Chain A
Amino acid sequence: MNAVITKVPFAEPLWRYRAFIWSAATREMRLQSMNSVLGWLWPVLNAAALILLYMTLFVEVLKSKLPGSDDSMSYAIYLCVGIINWTYFSNTILRSLNIFGENAMLLKKAGFPKITLPIVVIVSQGVQFAIMLGVFAALLIFTGRIPGWSLLGMIPLLIIQQTIAISLGVLLGTLNVFFRDVGQAAGIILTFWFWLTPIVYPMSILSPNVAAFVTTWNPMTRIMIGYHDIALNNVMPNLADFAGHAVLAIVLSAVAYLCFKRLYSAVQDYL
């Protein structure tokens, strides 16, 4: 462990503060579960209710299927996979917008490593994501539709997706200290971004021009297609397709880090 800690950037403070990261990430859930009989079950029930709602609505009521598929559950699975992953992505960004304001008290504490804050966001949203995914996976197992080893392909996609999310989040969160407009605009842009990503609709219904645009300019498109391929076709994503994404994620995180570093002293005085 020690060898790893000294080599990976930021690993040392993150490892040392792991207990804090976990307790801060689960803080909201712990507060919600206080004085409630079902406590920790509620997030699970929430996830189950949402997934069951989609299933009933699209499988039983609307009888929606993906074009070219004769599986009655295909569209519902398509939608759930998209929404679960998108929610993780967009909530990570949204929760980062007030990362400094919300944690002003911690930032005034001596020796507190600031790098833990974005990690807390990733972990806390990750817990929500894991609950949703777990409930959904249970349903897939129950209906005999769980994909095989291709599931492991989700891991690199998630890493790329969340690196992009947290880099954007920290970048916008830093700017948001100076301009509250950034936070407001981010909400609107994410709504548009959602509809420019194949989550609710399949790519095949788009005209070739629009499809090309969405694939070229929206990094989330390929990532979503990757998740869909895993869930519906049990196809491992071709990682070579994601080289550009990896570069984007690295560049964005570098930009976010430099911007944060340059502006932090002003942020401190502002808090």
Chain B
Amino acid sequence: MPLISIRNITKKYHTFNSDWDRFIEAITSGKVKRRQEHWILKGISLEAEAGESIGIIGYNGAGKSTLLKIVLGVSTPDTGTVSINGRVAGLLELGVGFHPEFTGRENAVISCQLLGLDPAEIPPLVEEIKAFSELHEYFDEPMRTYSTGMAMRLAFSASTVVRPEILVVDEALSVGDAYFQHKSMARIRRFREAGTTLFLVSHDPTAIKSLCDRAVILEDGVMIRDGRPDEVLDYYQAMVNRRKKDEEIRQFQGDGVLVTRSGDARMQIASIEVLDMEGRPGRVFKTGETARIRQTIICNDPSVRPNVGILIRDRLGNHVYGTNTNLKKIVIDDEFQVGSRFHVDFDVQLLLGGGTYNVTVAVVDDALHSSHLDWIDQAIVFQVMPESIPDFAGLTPLRTSISYSPGAAPGADVEEAAVAEVHA
């Protein structure tokens, strides 16, 4: 028989317009509906044998913590069944039930009592907590004098003093300093070897790979992957990359300003790259270096005569420079097929002061009053680093030469007269 068996559980969170609505629904066991529903878990099934350890990964809001709460028994699923045969301990919220006025020792005693241990078993366990937490003489001081790290050490030591059959760990909870983290990981590992079933929620692939023999991905309340950790993590990595890429196109990096993209898509910009002169992708350039802004375009309608352009803006949105193939008298009139690709490189010498700049890229219809085929605002961001000792201040190094000669220059008298007038 599996130690944990979760069958097709669902969980909705509800919001109610009033407490009265909440009460009516609860007392009628939901026969009267007054709620607005948000699904958190949409039918999860999971079984775990003794000694198995399962890594749970997924984006924030995927339902991981709700699943853990249900395993812990502190939340009840709406439908489905959960059967658990053993004592569950959770490291979700450390320090549950600690009182700041009590000493570490008194809190450790209470923590043991909360495990339902026999009173005779408690004193040696308290000594064990003292030893593991390494609080030494602080153990007999009130908890209000503890640093956060010390409180965490006590909480971890106290909640893991007895090996549970099932341990639920949220890795977000990094306990204390690096030394203690290693120590607590070692304890979790020892539990696992002794037969504890482990549920580990983590964003850290190495933690999952080293501690788990199985991993699942939750996305949007559904378990979309269940298998060997390396395979599942690869899949997850691909998910993350895809999402990152999406974000790169959709979002102004850094500021989180949403990008507007418009156009009828008869021609589409498939990718935008900023390259250095060796052809490597780059985002950071020095003043005066040349950057290659490359647009790759897919043709969806061969009849279109495209005009491809760029617009560089500074971080305040000032237009710094813009141009297009039309202005530069470059004609793109090949015989395109549907799906054929071409790319346009803009080699721009960055005569710019230090700062970040964004590039808007566009392909418009040359014939039809420049109607947008594809237009992506703030598609990509690059940075210009000033020389370590810049020889100018401001937005752009205007071509400037300075000469010096002693004595008045010819015509200086006129200047002086003008200055004198202003002063008067």
Contacts and interface: CB of A to CB of B under 8 A. Distances in A.
A42 interface: no
B23 A179 contact: yes
Interface of B: 13-14, 19-20, 22-23, 25-27, 29, 72-76, 87-90, 93, 96-97, 99, 101-102, 109-110, 113-114, 116-119, 122, 168
B197 to A, nearest CB: 13
B19 A179 contact: yes
The 5 closest A-B pairs by CB, nearest first: A20-B113, A266-B26, A265-B76, A110-B72, A178-B23
A20 B13 contact: no
Contacts of B87: 110-111
Contact of A110 (B13, B73, B97): B73
A212 B14 CA distance: 49
A70 B1 CA distance: 76
A17 B88 contact: no
B99 A27 contact: yes
A7 interface: no
Given A105-B96, A111-B116, A265-B76, A178 B110 contact: no
12 contacts: A23-B110, A108-B74, A108-B96, A110-B88, A262-B26, A263-B26, A265-B26, A265-B76, A266-B25, A268-B74, A268-B76, A269-B14
A106 B114 contact: yes
A259 B72 CA distance: 23
A179 B122 CA distance: 40
A112 interface: yes
B101 A31 contact: yes
A154 interface: no
Interface string A132-153: 0000000000000000000000
B97 A109 contact: yes
B27 A263 contact: yes
Looking at B26, B89, B99, B122, the one whose CB has the most chain A CB atoms below 10 A away is: B26
Looking at A109, A263, A269, the one whose CB has the most chain B CB atoms below 10 A away is: A109
Given A105-B96, A262-B29, A266-B26, A20 B75 contact: no
A209 B216 CA distance: 73
A116 to B, nearest CB: 9
Contact of B73 (A13, A23, A111): A111
A107 interface: yes
A20 B110 contact: yes
Q: SS class of chain B's interface: helix, strand, loop or mixed? A: mixed
Looking at B13, B20, B25, B97, the one whose CB has the most chain A CB atoms below 10 A away is: B97
Given A263-B27, A265-B76, A269-B13, A20 B116 contact: yes
A265 to B, nearest CB: 4
Contact of B113 (A23, A30, A268, A269): A23
Interface in A73-120: 105-113
B109 A23 contact: yes
Given A262-B26, A262-B27, A268-B76, A109 B116 contact: no
A13 B117 CA distance: 11
Given A106-B96, A265-B76, 11 more contacts: A16-B118, A20-B114, A110-B73, A110-B74, A110-B87, A110-B90, A178-B26, A179-B23, A263-B27, A265-B26, A270-B22
A23 B102 CA distance: 12
A31 B110 CA distance: 14
A19 interface: yes
B116 A16 contact: yes
Size category, A interface: 20 to 34
Interface string A240-271: 00000000000000000001001111101110
A59 B96 CA distance: 51
A3 interface: no
Given A110-B72, A263-B27, A178 B19 contact: yes
Contacts of A111: 73, 87-88, 116
Q: SS class of chain A's interface: helix, strand, loop or mixed? A: helix
A108 B109 CA distance: 19
Looking at B73, B97, B116, B118, the one whose CB has the most chain A CB atoms below 10 A away is: B116
Contacts of A263: 26-27
A109 B23 CA distance: 25
A112 B114 contact: yes
B348 to A, nearest CB: 57
A175 B90 CA distance: 29
B198 to A, nearest CB: 14
Contacts of B19: 178-179
A19 B101 contact: no
B114 A109 contact: yes
Contacts of A13: 116
Contacts of A175: 23
A16 B109 CA distance: 15
Nearest to B166: A110
Contact of A19 (B25, B99, B113): B113
Looking at A17, A18, A111, A259, the one whose CB has the most chain B CB atoms below 10 A away is: A111
A265 B14 CA distance: 12
Interface string A1-40: 0000000000001001111100110010011001000000
Nearest to B73: A110
Contacts of A113: 116
A105 B96 CA distance: 6
A262 B116 CA distance: 26
A85 to B, nearest CB: 30
Contacts of A30: 102
Nearest to A107: B74
A17 B74 contact: no
Interface in A188-210: none
B101 A17 contact: no
A104 B369 CA distance: 66
Looking at A31, A175, A259, A266, the one whose CB has the most chain B CB atoms below 10 A away is: A266
Nearest to B90: A110
B88 A34 contact: no
Nearest to A112: B114
A23 B74 CA distance: 23
A268 B75 contact: yes
A111 to B, nearest CB: 6
Looking at A19, A24, A113, the one whose CB has the most chain B CB atoms below 10 A away is: A19
B240 to A, nearest CB: 31
Given A107-B74, A110-B89, A34 B101 contact: yes
B93 A108 contact: yes
